[in-house]
Amino acid sequence: MSHSLIKKKYDVAIVGGGPAGLSAAIELKLSGVNEVVVLERNSQAGGNPRHCGHSPFGMREFKRIYYGPKYAKKLVDEAIESGVKILLNTSVISFEKGGLLTLSTEQGVSQIQAKRVVLSTGIREKPRSARLISGQRPLGIMTAGALQSLVYLSDGKPFEKPVIIGSELVSFSAIATCRHANIKPVAMIEENSRPTAWSLLRLYPYIQGISFLKNTQLLEIHGKEVVTGVSILTDKGEKKHIDCDGVIFTGQFVPEASLVRMNHLMIDQYSNGPIVDQFNRCSDRDYFAIGNVLRPVETAGWCWQEGVDTAKSVLKSLDNSLEDIKQISISVQSPVIKYCVPQKISVQSRMKEIQLQLRFTEPAKGRIIIYTKNKELLSKQVNGLPERRILIFLSREITETMALAGENLFIRFQKEGDK
Amino acid sequence: MIKAKKSQVDSFDIIIVGAGIVGCAMAREFTLAGAKVLTLEKGEDILDGASKGNSAILHTGFDAPPNSVEHACIVDSYHEYLSIRKKLNLPLLKTTALVTAWTEKEENLLEGILEKANLNGIFDAKIINKKEVLAKETQLSPVVRAAIYVPREYVIDPWTAPNMYMLQAIKNGATLLRETEVKAGKYDGEKWLIETNKGIVKGTNIINCAGLYGDKLDEMLIGKKAFEIRPRKGQFIVYDKAASQLINAIILPVPNEITKGVVICRTIFGNVLVGPTAEEQKSRDDASVVHETLESLRLKGEELVPALKNIPITATFAGIRPATEYKDYCIKHYEENNYISVGGIRSTGLSAALGIAKRVFRDFQAYGSQYEPREDIIYPSMIPIAETEKRDWQNEGNEGIVCHCEWVTKREISEALTGDLPVKSLSGLKRRTRVTMGRCQGFYCSAHLNELTKGRFKKPLAKPIMKANK
């Protein structure tokens, strides 16, 4: 740790050492950038996979399958081998224009300055409080992430027979975590008529012995000191009590974007992450964002790829070869569309194909239409499900037309059968 | 009866029952005045009952009923807090308050509220018009019509303050027994013998600061009660720190007969809270939150401060106020029993506690034992956790941040777990340090926290995993 009073200067500072941050750091370093630093607030880098004690991780990156913790370690090892500097136990408290970051470490406060800053602060689940769930507030209520970290990082078993709320990918991961700690969930509760991660139906054998309650609402949590049970509203409209000693709230991910919210960057109300352009550049063009802080929620492999790709843009930006002529916005116009990332398109002298990432709030079949105020640019048939990414590609032809017109874009959904 | 340990049959001058905000202030007052004080708390930690959910405001008393005991205590307390806060390193967020009128009817009531403020000795409050309100609070909905501006209403730390009162009492010789519940008691004309789950304790005077159980304790010990507790629940929602940039003042509505109404207010920790509701209920310990109510608080908050829509809610909680059938506090000295009942300290407990303690002591002196005031009073200090102060994460040797949402350091946690008033439960640790109280509610720090608190709590965050035999 540097004690010098002079601000340490870096070429690129990366905030958050998960798969996205590490992959960007490696790519930058391998491309010859001198001073690349990863600022990691935990005592270990690697991000959420550190406590995901299950496969598959690593297909895209290493062409083989790892369990989460091993995968995280492999990423960290590779970063260190590439010469990336990782500062552990280092929290970014705030940042400002000019790439000035204020840090806290056990030595107190310090500042560093970087020519470019890459935000890769990741994601977390929506806890009980933010879901405004009724009931008492005893011990034994937690997110799947908290459970995973308790089990895998501190060999802890917070309860014996919890209920699991939600049926996203991570909910199944929570079941695996329970297995590992010999915890026996009593039920999986899902508001909708089928599991959100329904592509995981093949995992059904995995949840054998755990009743899957669809069309069921969690009404209230009981217990003064520790959880003693929950009330639910069943698919038949009956109020029922389930005995349990814990409640695991899974999924409903939200970007860990409070640094963005508290500082000078613009935030998108749809994705809840920073507003970026097609290069993942934020509203302050010295700042980039990658990984799940951009939007809920993608796999580690996807985030890793985003790190690699965005590193290339950071390089160009360092060379001042990302000059914009102007910027246009893409605005979401239908409630079915949960978000569209990027939210801005930077118009440059030579346009390329642009990829838009979308998610739906509910299952829907129909067309995605992208248009300007007087012209439809693209219409694509989609069969969307929440939890599943929808990719729309704006071809070079379209982006060039778009750039020429320079008008803002809109994106809407037209349900099958509707006009 | 359980056989008491010798050390516990030592006789105390004062036995305080209940270590809520009022009990803590009482222990401090009587200890510093020279009495030998014992405080009994049935919870695992202090501040575990009504005191754990309040809105953290230090009132001037501008809207209290004139000539009430409550008003007198609030005024005394206000001055006492401001005079001791530097020595005890207690924070103060100088917010001011606005009593806001949103309808013509409410606007017409402002004059009356201002008159009441004047009756209560608050002469610097004034009515300001819509334009002036919006100049002060740019994010407030323009539907607002006018407001009373009250300059010296402040926000304080609702848990560190009473914690320091108790710690100062302990540092100056007081005793605190937690997880100690009064089961029975007898006054023999000279001394009280109190039977608890931990044994028998002996003392000359009893002060009932049992909050939500005040009437039950009176009945148990003196066979009569001057009031009946009518629990009144208040639910709150808390917004993430980004919300604190949206408002300056404590935004109050025009109150009605029952309640001051829903307040929007910054906390000293940099959040914004919206609440409380006022719901009569039977249960004295069921502080359940209710989805529909939380949802209506959210809508209320967003109606008055529209930009709250874009800020995540980080926490929800409910507190239970020990209201009674009376509007005013019920403080009663039963001289013949050497017994003082301090009941019905409802929503203004935090604002009034130091004043209540002063008043009780003053009245007690008129008839009770005389003590030699303590000389060389010790003023303990604690690492400040309020955003108004320099936080530990800014200091060298903080041992690193554990809770990333609230920037709680390992040193702060270690300090809370040790010393003269170590926390004994996770909820105690939360109140002392704010760990896990932020937006992630433990997503990021549970494992680390479990490591740090191993063996400290009767109810741990997690038990060790027993590996199945294979």
pLDDT digits (tens, 9 = 90+) for A49-87: 998 888 789 989 999 999 999 999 999 999 999 999 999
pLDDT higher than threshold 60 for residue B433: yes
Domain B97-151+230-321 homologous superfamily, CATH: D-Amino Acid Oxidase, subunit A, domain 2 (3.30.9.10)
A51 contacts chain B (CB < 8 A): yes
Please report, for residues A282, B156, B416, B444, the alpha-carbon distance to residue B412 in angstroms, rounded to integers and kept in the order given.
35, 19, 6, 18
Q: In the predicted model, what is the mean pLDDT of residues A195-208? A: 66
- Which region among A163-172, B204-213, B288-297, B332-341 has the lowest average model confidence (pLDDT)? A163-172
* pLDDT on residue A418: 78
Sheet holding A229-233, edge to edge: A134-135, A217-222, A229-233, A239-243
A3-52 pLDDT per residue, tens: 445 789 999 999 999 999 999 999 999 999 999 999 999 999 999 999 88
Query: Residue A169 pLDDT > 80, yes or no?
Result: yes
pLDDT(B469) > 50? no
B201 touches chain A (CB under 8 A): no
Yes or no, beta carbons of B426 and A139 under 8 Å apart: yes
Q: What is the pLDDT of residue B1?
A: 41
Report which residue type is found at A56.
P
**In 3-state terms, what secondary structure has residue B371?**
coil
Question: What integer pLDDT is reported at residue B206 of this predicted model?
Answer: 98
Residue A197 is predicted with a pLDDT of 76
Can you point out the beta strands (E) in A40-129? 85-87, 91-96, 100-105, 108-119, 123-125
Binding-face residues of B in 270-299 toward A, CB within 8 A: 285-291, 294-295, 298
Residues 6+ apart with CB under 8 A from B103: B145
Q: Where are the domains of chain B?
A: 6-53+159-227+326-365, 97-151+230-321, 392-453
Chain A residue nearest residue B291, CA to CA: A134
Note the Cα A76 to chain centre separation in Å: 19
| Cβ pair B405, A86 in contact under 8 A | no
The minimum CA-CA distance between B294 and chain A, rounded to whole Å, is 6
By residue count, chain A amounts to: 419
B212/chain A closest Cα distance in angstroms: 16
Is the pLDDT reported for residue B25 higher than 50?
Answer: yes
**326-365 in B: which are within 8 Å (CB) of A?**
none
pLDDT at res. A198? 66
The arithmetic mean of pLDDT across residues B121-142, rounded, is: 98
Helix (H) or strand (E) holding B172: none
8 A C-beta contact, residue B317 and residue B159: no
Q: What is the DSSP letter of B415?
A: H
Q: Which residue has the tokens 């009590």?
A: A241
Angstrom distance (rounded) from CA B367 to CA B14: 14
What pLDDT is recorded for position B4?
46
Portion 392-451 of B in contact with A at CB < 8 A: 393-401, 404-405, 407, 426, 439-444, 446-448, 450-451
Q: What is the pLDDT of residue A56?
A: 84
Of A130, A136, A156, the CB nearest to B461: A156
Mean pLDDT of A145-163: 95
pLDDT digit string, tens, across residues A316-341? 999 999 988 999 999 999 999 999 99
Give the count of beta carbons closer than 10 Å to the beta carbon of residue B88: 18
CB of B455 less than 8 A from some CB of A: no
Confidence check: pLDDT of B191 > 70: yes
- Position A207 confidence tier, pLDDT thresholds 50, 70, 90: low
User: Mean pLDDT score of chain B, rounded to an integer?
Assistant: 95
pLDDT at B3: 47
β-sheet bridge partners, residue A288: A118, A281
Q: Which of residues 142-171 of A touch B (CB under 8 A)?
A: 142-143, 145-147, 149-158
Structure tokens at B138: 């740019």
Least confident residue range of A136-150, B3-17, B69-83: B3-17
The overall average pLDDT reported for chain A is 93
- Chain A CA closest to residue B468: A182
Distance from CA of A146 to the nearest CA of B (A): 4
What are B59-72's pLDDT values in tens digits?
999 999 999 999 99
Asked if residue A361 has pLDDT above 70, the reply is yes
| Residues in contact with B218: Cβ distance below 8 Å, sequence separation at least 6, in sequence order | B208, B224, B225, B226, B341, B343
pLDDT tens digits, B305-361 = 999 998 999 999 999 999 999 999 999 999 999 999 999 998 899 999 999 999 999
What count of Cα atoms within 13 Å lies in the side-chain half-sphere of residue B96? 16
Q: What is the per-residue pLDDT for B470?
A: 35
Domains (ranges, CATH) in chain A? Answer: 8-124+254-322 (3.50.50.60), 127-251 (3.50.50.60), 328-415 (2.60.40)
Cβ partners under 8 Å of residue A108, min gap 6: B393, B394, B395, B396, B397, B398
CA distance B120 to chain A (A): 39
Q: A99 in contact with B at a CB cutoff of 8 Å? A: no
Interface check B315 vs A, CB under 8 A: yes
Nearest-CA residue of chain B relative to A261?
B242
Q: How far apart are CA B125 and CA B112, in angstroms?
A: 12
Backbone angles phi, psi at B293, to 5 degrees: -70, -45
By Cβ distance, the residue of B285, B317, B401 closest to A91 is B401
- What pLDDT shows up at residue B347? 84
Interface test with B, best of A51, A88, A105, A106 (most B CBs within 10 A): A106
pLDDT at A7: 87
Query: Mean per-residue pLDDT for A205-230?
Result: 90
Tell me what the mean pLDDT of segment B366-389 comes to.
95
Closest alpha carbon within chain B to A248: B443
Q: Which residue of A has its CA nearest to B441?
A: A127
Give the pLDDT band of residue A2 (cuts 50, 70, 90): very low
Q: Do A129 and B290 touch (CB under 8 A)?
A: no
Residue B9 confidence (pLDDT): 62
| pTM tops 0.90, yes or no | yes
* pLDDT digit string, tens, across residues B234-248: 999 999 999 999 999
**Confidence at residue A53, expressed as pLDDT on a 0 to 100 scale:** 82
What is the percentage of chain B residues whose pLDDT exceeds 70? 97
Asked if the C-beta of A93 comes within 8 angstroms of chain B's C-beta atoms, the answer is: yes
Q: Do the Cβ atoms of A51 and B463 come within 8 Å?
A: no
**DSSP state, residue A304:** H
Contacts of B294 in chain A (CB under 8 A): 132, 134
Residues of B whose CB is below 8 A from A43: 400, 448
B303 vs chain A: nearest CA distance in angstroms?
18
Q: pLDDT: is A224 or A386 the higher one?
A: A224
Q: How far is A225 from chain B (nearest CA, A)?
A: 9
Domain B6-53+159-227+326-365 listed as CATH 3.50.50.60: yes
A232, burial (CB in 10 Å: exposed 0-12, middle 13-18, buried 19+): buried
Query: Is the pLDDT assigned to residue B179 strictly greater than 70?
Result: yes
Beta-carbon count within 10 A of B135 CB: 10
The CA distance from A4 to the nearest CA of chain B, in Å, is 14
Question: Which residues 355-384 of A have a C-beta within 8 angstroms of B?
Answer: none
User: Which residue on chain A is closest to B442 by alpha carbon?
Assistant: A146
pLDDT digits (tens, 9 = 90+) for A256-288: 999 999 999 999 999 999 999 999 999 999 999
pLDDT tens digit string along A90-139?
999 999 999 999 999 999 999 999 999 999 999 999 999 999 999 999 99
d(CA A137, CA A63): 45
Tell me the pLDDT band of B222, cut-offs 50, 70 and 90. Answer: very high
**pLDDT of residue A388 exceeding 90:** no
Q: What pLDDT does A337 receive?
A: 96
- B54 falls in which pLDDT band (50, 70, 90)? confident
- Checking if the pLDDT of A419 tops 70, the result is no
CB of A181 within 8 Å of any CB in chain B?
yes
* First-to-last C-alpha distance (Å) of chain A: 62
Contact between B288 and A124 using a beta-carbon 8 Å cutoff: no
Q: Do the interacting molecules here have an ipTM over 0.85?
A: yes
